[in-house]
Amino acid sequence: MGPRLKLFFPLILFAMLAITLFRGLSLDPSEMPSALIDQPFPPFSLPSVNTGKSLSQADIEGQVSLVNVWATWCVACRAEHPYLRQLAQSGIPLIGLNYKDQDADAQRWLEELGDPYRFNIADHDGTLGLDLGVYGAPETYLVDAAGVIRYRHVGVVNEGVWNTILQPLYQELIVHSGAQ
């Protein structure tokens, strides 16, 4: 390294540091990949919110579906709800996981705001939530036809999230399961 080049060393160091820190600005530390990606949906036996009928992981298998973790105490879930109804109308199978909630509150919510879910699992104590690694509602899991978790989205599902992240993965899984 010549003596003239050596003079540029602080500038180069600064540029590297600036790039690293600038990248840090756009990283979201709360965005963590689920530990259950490519793992089977955890086994459970919980009642349905609407009918009280016992549900298990077998009820989720059979088709590619979205498992949406929601609760009536969750404000963001209310914001998310209209878009979920839209998704359900376009034929996407949605399964609700009513997380740490009261059945009566959940039933009222579904009556007032509409029910986009095929069925709702009542996880009163958050035990299934713990097995899934849920740390806050809303969260949405993409589960394939064999009942394997393929993706977890933390936060509200809206048109942007669906079009850019979830739909491509969903289509891929549909094609994949159709080929088998």
Site residues (CB under 8 A) for other proteins? 29-30, 32-36, 100, 126, 129-136
Integer Cα distance of 77 and 134 in angstroms: 14
CB of 152 to other proteins, least distance (A): 11
Instruction: Name the residue nearer to other proteins (CB basis): 26 or 30.
Output: 30
Q: Which amino acid makes up residue 139?
A: E
Backbone angles phi, psi at 58, to 5 degrees: -65, -30
C-alpha dihedral (89, 173, 122, 130), degrees to nearest 10: -140
Instruction: Name the residue nearer to other proteins (CB basis): 18 or 37.
Output: 37
CB of 148 to other proteins, least distance (A): 15
Q: Tell me the Ramachandran region of residue 167: left when phi exceeds 0, alpha when psi lies from -120 to 50, beta otherwise.
A: alpha
Count Cβ atoms below 10 Å from residue 147 Cβ, excluding itself.
16
CB of 155 to other proteins, least distance (A): 13
Count Cβ atoms below 10 Å from residue 175 Cβ, excluding itself.
10
CB of 74 to other proteins, least distance (A): 11
CB of 36 to other proteins, least distance (A): 7
Instruction: Name the residue nearer to other proteins (CB basis): 114 or 136.
Output: 136
Integer Cα distance of 106 and 144 in angstroms: 26
Instruction: Name the residue nearer to other proteins (CB basis): 30 or 90.
Output: 30
Instruction: Name the residue nearer to other proteins (CB basis): 96 or 129.
Output: 129
